[in-house]
Structure 1
Amino acid sequence: MCEPTRDITIMPLLPKYRELNSVENLWQFMHQNWLSNPIFKSYADIVDHCCDGRKLELQPWRIRSIGHRKWAYEF
């Protein structure tokens, strides 16, 4: 097993570097596909819309593809 090194400092990601944070990419995908200012006619429409958005949880391959960055896997 490899011993931890003391030469590396983990820095928090700044909000302006969204391309480094895969959660930001997922949020952008959800915003563009489900949360882009829809107008609802009834409460049932709101519930249906939310349920459709939650279906993304059942698609881990899609979440992986959204968060995947080619440059991060080239090493």
Structure 2
Amino acid sequence: MFGIGELTILLLVVVAVLAVKRLPDLVRSAGKAARILKSEKQAFKNEGKDESAGGGPSRTAPRVIRGETTERDTPTP
């Protein structure tokens, strides 16, 4: 029979062969997620600096996140 080492190697080979088709999509998705996290981290840092410097929330334009819709809290003139 096979030992644990041989079964592990066999399992890794099977996963690698099956994942070849999806690998570019997985890497692309991981890149998008990393960019989103990085931009959110930067926005969070900037938001904290704006509030501490001005004493209150800043009056900057709202961020636009593609694919999401939001309603404004206050009506526009």
One fold, TM greater than 0.5? no
- Larger RCO (CA under 8 A, 6+ residues apart): 1
The TM-score, its normalising length taken from structure 2, stands at 0.28
Structure (1/2) with the larger helix percentage = 2
TM-score by length of 1: 0.29
Structure with higher Rg: it is: 2
